[in-house]
Amino acid sequence: MKIRDQRDDLENLLNNSSINQDKNVPSDKDIPTELKSEPTTDVDFTALRFQCDEEAKELIKKSISFIISDEMIENNPYLSEKVKVDAFSLAGMLYQLRCNEIIQRVNMEQIKSGMVHPRMFEVFSQMSKVLGELHKQLIQTVEAIKETYKMAKGDIKEMSMEALGQHENSQGMLTSGDGSIVTRGTKELIKSVQKIKTQKDILEIEDVSEVKDKE
């Protein structure tokens, strides 16, 4: 027998075996109701993920509300994107936490129903440690995120201070880097105007001798 014929025979065997196997396996509608396994939980995991997304957004908002205002976030593209990325990361962590809580609850329900095998208690102990680590990791992540926003606020404030001297108008108002107006106190405003006037007068005098000649 040629190699090509052998290959064709093997392909036929594989194809026929898969078809026969599918025929031998009963479909879900062929399984009697009393033999079907019931779900251990009624949780909608798609809805759970959506809930975690919303919780993460709210958690980020409350955590940074006293650090950076909503207006700063809306007017700064970097901060806007950072909020989205941080919320996405927290949502994944929250989802893992909620799923592990569900698994532990199912384990407890099984023990309650009479499955008191030592392995069930061992799994419960392991799940408790996992949940503890997830809670700890979530708290640490939130605190780390808050620190990044504090640093970002400091950088924005420093950039605004540097821009003050470059955006001063004749009415005594200053504009920051984002275009917002920064007002000064009366004394500080007077000093600033006097300083500008003095500098202007000095620039207009090109030679002291010219002043003496005029006198």
User: pLDDT tens-digit profile of 124-179?
Assistant: 999 999 999 999 999 999 999 999 999 888 887 777 776 665 555 444 444 444 44
DSSP state of 38: P
User: pLDDT tens-digit profile of 90-122?
Assistant: 999 999 999 999 999 989 988 888 888 888 899
Identify the pLDDT of residue 188.
54
- The region, left, alpha or beta by phi > 0 then psi within -120 to 50, assigned to residue 114 is left
Identify the pLDDT of residue 36.
58
List beta partners, residue 182: 174
Higher local confidence (pLDDT), 57 or 196? 57
| Contact between 170 and 125 (Cβ < 8 Å) | no
| Contact between 142 and 59 (Cβ < 8 Å) | yes
Higher local confidence (pLDDT), 199 or 88? 88
Q: Tokens 């996992």 label which residue?
A: 130
CA distance 147 to 131: 25
